[in-house]
RNA sequence: GGGGUUGUAGCUCAGUUUGGUUAGAGUACUGGCCUGUCACGCCAGGUGCCGCGGGUUCAAGUCCCGUCAACCCCGCCA
């Protein structure tokens, strides 16, 4: 409880200018630190705005001084007194409010604190203890700043979309389960035993339905759920900026979303980016960077040398070529800095992605050298130097494999790893690119059918629709991803608005009419009632905040994240439930951990 | 499901390579002294399931096996 008298007149961080000097002020906050000199005592009082020094003089105010001597870290206090300008020699230049202090004549201890489990001013606390005591973690300026910027960014986004005629519409959290895509979180139905809801992986179908409903411009800051394994940039639940628009082209969507991203950066980080954001085709991205989300903060483009080395005597390459595989080369400027140890580490690194090895050469005195150069004739060597543009001091790193996925995964990540080691991936650089012209389908060799590259509602390029019958693998789609520094911020597509085309796509995806009807019948129905041409996209909001805050872990910008095993260390979620609860739901657990 | 890293005082970490006396430092905490500090200083004090379980050994924080947790990665996920 707090009284009117105790309530703050000013935030602690406000005392940076002389206008408050001589005034009586009241501050509220937490004890950041205390310095007891026996008589004269200082307390740094922190609130969310910063901190200010309180002075307690036993001569002037013996009661307040006596109370101050008992203060400890994180006690909650209200204090009132007169703002003083410090003598020049007493100014603390490292402190925002270091020119001023408050001479306190009355203090109220609103709440004592137990000794905190970690020191809030320690910069590197183990994440486990931070997550367990997240409420203390929030008191640290870094975390407060992450939450503040997250909030500011949603504000910018809402304002921007509002100004551009978007409606914020909510969609259900309890949905129909579909086996495609990620694993669903299931919620049992109490009223219909054996039936389940699924939490949304994204509001995809509903936002298309809203377009059919004539909403025309929709957005939602939507929580999404995917029951898959966690990573540094993946949580079980995460937030999407979800967008859908009617009567638009791909260019319209790319244009307006580019402006939104530019505005977020301008308004919150005072950072200008050049519009339009550059574009790159999926094919170029794969050819040059081996991946559909290229990190363009540095060059080092990949070169295909399968043809170039076809006449070499190096058995590994010969075997790859015989198996109709591919050989890619990463030319590394200044690559002679890579020691044998570095190279061995890189060989181990590409092993993660299935590569059985990594060949390498160095350019020295205009010639190639390494343990395998002898298997390459002078002619082949010359061709290699030409093809890769290798210059003095370059290293050429080679990945060859019969399996093209192994080659691309390995060389793409090798490029990133070398870039990392050479310090080319600075967090201050922002390199945005729209990757466009994705193939509509990817061949699923395991199940001998086509998979949707984006999702089953993505529109093929209009002029390529006839190719669906003849060469579906070559059909491109109106799909687009926005990539920043090698991380996908978001992506979307123009959707199919013609129920016949949609049915045809389902058939190619091996979803027969019957199951299409069961799973998506209401969408197909909706499309048949005058669905407007429409499209949209979704941004991974947590990732955007993470990147803009120059962090490399999404948990830093999510208030209450889960650990890699899906636990909340603070609330100890998940947990057991009572038998009564299960009975109501018609559920029986096969294995039961002791209920807490 | 798999590979790797880490786990020692409330916190941050040293000690583990090469087993050997009573396991250390800083900070936090408790008490005392100190009127200008701001990472205040000085004095004194308590602080340990060395993640857990088993094994080897005369002897284990240290070696071996298993296990748990957190993190990074592969698979998975768009």
Pairing state between β A50-56 and A100-111: parallel
Q: What is the pLDDT of residues A561-578, one digit of tens each?
A: 999 999 999 999 999 999
Whether A333 and A394 have beta carbons less than 8 Å apart is answered as: yes
In the 347-386 segment of chain A, residues within 7 Å (Cβ) of strand B are: 352-354
Whether A362 and A384 have beta carbons less than 8 Å apart is answered as: no
* Whether residue A463 sits in one domain with residue A550: yes
Q: Alpha helices of A58-126 — where are they, by DSSP H? A: 62-69
* Whether residue A339 sits in one domain with residue A312: yes
pLDDT at A404 over 70: yes
* The pLDDT value given to residue A591: 64
* Whether residue A391 sits in one domain with residue A308: yes
Sign of the torsion formed by the C-alpha atoms of A80, A82, A88 and A90: negative
**What is the pLDDT averaged over residues A7-22?**
96
With cut-offs at 50, 70 and 90, classify the pLDDT of residue A595: very low
* Whether residue A195 sits in one domain with residue A219: yes
Q: How far is CA A102 from the centre of its chain?
A: 42
Q: The complex's ipTM?
A: 0.93
* Whether residue A438 sits in one domain with residue A404: no
CA–CA separation, A288 and A291 (whole Å):
8
**E strand or H helix at A78, and its extent?**
strand A76-85
Q: What is the pLDDT of residues A149-161, one digit of tens each?
A: 999 999 999 999 9
Q: Give the range of the structural domain holding residue A38, as residue numbers without chain letter.
A: 12-111
**E strand or H helix at A220, and its extent?**
strand A217-225
Chain-wide mean pLDDT for chain A? 94
In the 211-250 segment of chain A, residues within 7 Å (Cβ) of strand B are: 226, 228-234
CA–CA separation, A7 and A3 (whole Å):
6
Burial of A226-256, coded b for 16+ CB within 10 Å and e otherwise, reads beeebeebebbbbbbbbbbbbebebeebbeb
- A567 part of a folded domain: no
- A120 part of a folded domain: no
- A125 part of a folded domain: no
Strand B bases with any atom < 7 A from protein Cβ? 1, 10-13, 27-30, 33-41, 69-78
- A363 part of a folded domain: yes
| Number of domains into which chain A is organized | 3
- A127 part of a folded domain: no
Asked whether residue A565, judged by its CB, lies under 7 Å from any atom of the DNA or RNA strand B, the reply is yes
Asked whether residue A184, judged by its CB, lies under 7 Å from any atom of the DNA or RNA strand B, the reply is no
For residue A6, which phi and psi values (nearest 5 degrees)? -85, -15
- Of A81-85, A453-457, A547-551, least confident by mean pLDDT is A453-457
- A332 part of a folded domain: yes
Q: What is the pLDDT of residues A520-563, one digit of tens each?
A: 889 999 999 999 999 999 999 999 999 999 999 999 999 999 99
CB atoms within 10 A of CB A114: 8
* The pLDDT value given to residue A509: 87
**What is the pLDDT averaged over residues A579-595?**
80
* Whether residue A203 sits in one domain with residue A149: yes
Can you tell me which residue has the tokens 């990945």?
Answer: A399
Nucleotide B28 C1' to residue A35 CA (A): 15
* The pLDDT value given to residue A590: 79
* Whether residue A158 sits in one domain with residue A97: no
**What is the pLDDT averaged over residues A185-205?**
96
Nearest CA to the C1' of B29 belongs to which residue?
A115
Domain closes at, from A111, A133, A167: A111
CATH number, domain containing residue A364: 3.30.1360.30
CA–CA separation, A413 and A434 (whole Å):
20
- Establish whether the linkage from the previous residue to A324 is cis, with ω within 30° of 0: no
The tokens for A347 are: 């060989």
* The pLDDT value given to residue A110: 95
Q: CA nearest A550: which of A339, A265, A128, A244?
A: A265
Nearest CA to the C1' of B72 belongs to which residue?
A232
* Whether residue A499 sits in one domain with residue A387: no
**What is the pLDDT averaged over residues A478-498?**
96
**What is the pLDDT averaged over residues A170-190?**
93
Nearest CA to the C1' of B40 belongs to which residue?
A35
In the 128-157 segment of chain A, residues within 7 Å (Cβ) of strand B are: 128-129
* The pLDDT value given to residue A594: 43
Nucleotide B42 C1' to residue A29 CA (A): 30
CA–CA separation, A387 and A302 (whole Å):
11
**What is the pLDDT averaged over residues A164-169?**
98
pLDDT at A596 over 50: no
The angle formed by the CA atoms of residues A152, A156 and A160, to the nearest 5 degrees, is 170
Asked whether residue A251, judged by its CB, lies under 7 Å from any atom of the DNA or RNA strand B, the reply is no
* Whether residue A163 sits in one domain with residue A44: no
- A568 part of a folded domain: no
* The pLDDT value given to residue A407: 96
* Whether residue A456 sits in one domain with residue A389: no
Domain closes at, from A366, A393, A421: A421
Q: CA nearest A147: which of A435, A471, A555?
A: A555
CA–CA separation, A111 and A428 (whole Å):
42
* The pLDDT value given to residue A484: 97
């Amino acid at each position: 409880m707090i009284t009117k008298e105790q309530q703050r007149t000013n935030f602690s961080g406000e005392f940076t200018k002389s206008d408050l000097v001589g005034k009586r002020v009241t501050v509220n906050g937490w004890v950041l630190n205390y310095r007891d000199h026996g008589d004269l005592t200082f307390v740094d009082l922190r609130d969310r705005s910063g901190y200010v020094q309180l002075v307690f003089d036993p001569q002037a105010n013996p009661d307040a001084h006596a109370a101050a001597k008992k203060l400890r870290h994180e006690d909650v206090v209200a204090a009132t007194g007169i703002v003083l300008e410090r003598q020049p020699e007493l100014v603390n230049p490292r402190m925002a409010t270091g020119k001023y202090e408050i001479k306190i004549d009355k203090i109220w201890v609103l709440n004592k604190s137990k000794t905190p489990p970690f020191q809030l001013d320690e910069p590197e606390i183990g994440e486990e203890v931070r997550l367990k005591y997240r409420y203390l973690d929030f008191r640290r300026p870094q975390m407060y700043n992450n939450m503040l910027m997250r909030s500011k960014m949603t504000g910018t986004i809402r304002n921007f979309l509002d100004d551009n005629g978007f409606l914020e519409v909510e969609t259900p959290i309890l949905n129909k389960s579909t086996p495609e895509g990620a694993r669903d979180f299931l919620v049992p139905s109490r009223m219909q035993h054996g039936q389940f809801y699924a939490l949304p992986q994204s509001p995809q179908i509903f936002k298309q339905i809203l377009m059919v409903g004539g909403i025309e411009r929709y957005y939602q800051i939507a929580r999404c759920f995917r029951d898959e394994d966690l990573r540094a940039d993946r949580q079980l639940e995460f937030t999407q900026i979800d967008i859908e628009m009617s009567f638009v082209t791909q260019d319209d969507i790319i244009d307006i979303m580019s402006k939104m991203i530019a505005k977020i950066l301008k308004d919150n980080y005072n950072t200008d980016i050049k519009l339009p954001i550059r574009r790159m085709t999926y094919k170029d991205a794969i050819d040059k960077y081996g991946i559909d989300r290229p990190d363009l903060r540095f060059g080092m483009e990949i070169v295909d040398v399968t043809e170039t080395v076809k006449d070499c005597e190096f058995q590994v390459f010969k075997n790859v070529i015989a198996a109709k595989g591919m050989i890619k080369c990463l030319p590394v400027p200044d690559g002679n800095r890579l020691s044998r140890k570095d190279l061995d580490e890189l060989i181990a690194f590409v092993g993660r992605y299935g590569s059985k090895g990594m060949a390498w050469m160095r350019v020295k005195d205009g010639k190639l050298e390494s343990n395998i150069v002898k298997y390459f004739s002078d002619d082949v060597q010359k061709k290699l130097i030409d093809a890769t543009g290798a210059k003095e001091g370059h290293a050429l790193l080679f990945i060859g494999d019969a399996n093209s996925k192994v080659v691309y995964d390995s060389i793409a990540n090798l490029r990133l790893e070398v870039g990392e080691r050479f310090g080319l991936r600075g967090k201050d650089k922002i390199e945005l690119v729209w990757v466009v012209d994705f193939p509509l389908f990817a061949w699923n060799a395991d199940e001998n059918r086509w998979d949707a590259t984006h999702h089953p509602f993505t529109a093929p390029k209009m002029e390529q629709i006839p190719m669906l019958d003849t060469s579906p693998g070559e059909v491109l789609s109106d799909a687009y991803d926005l990539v920043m520094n090698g991380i996908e911020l978001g992506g979307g597509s123009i959707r199919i608005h013609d129920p016949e085309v949609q049915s045809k796509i389902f058939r190619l995806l091996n979803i027969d009419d019957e199951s299409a009807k069961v799973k998506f019948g209401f969408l197909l129905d909706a499309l048949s009632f005058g669905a407007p041409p429409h499209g949209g996209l979704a941004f991974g909001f947590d990732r955007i905040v993470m990147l803009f805050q120059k962090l490399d872990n999404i948990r830093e910008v999510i208030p209450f994240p889960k650990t890699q095993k899906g636990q909340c260390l603070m609330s100890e979620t998940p947990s057991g439930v009572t038998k009564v609860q299960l009975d109501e739901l018609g559920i029986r657990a096969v294995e039961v951990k002791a209920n807490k």
